[in-house]
Structure 1
């Protein structure tokens, strides 16, 4: 599995979080909710999140 370089993640509840680095094979980011346009980072979300089991 390839680790994406320099992707910081502070969401410790995510199974891809390894020592504050994301080790997901890809990252998918989407607009949050029903927004047509994102104007800042608060309007986005990480769809790659996978809770730890």
Structure 2
């Protein structure tokens, strides 16, 4: 019984690790996308000023 509980606890902890890693990756991805969008906006702004 104790072993089963231990396995469940480890599974839950690993699941949390995976979730937080996915969250972190998503944050990095979102930031990169945002920077890309800003770059495009700046470039478009420069072009429209010409």
Which structure is higher in strand share? 1
Same fold per superposition (TM over 0.5): no
TM-score bracket for the superposition, by shorter chain length: under 0.3
TM-score, normalised with respect to structure 1: 0.15
Bigger relative CO (Cα 8 Å, ≥ 6 apart) = 1
Structure having the higher Rg:
2
TM-score, normalised with respect to structure 2: 0.15
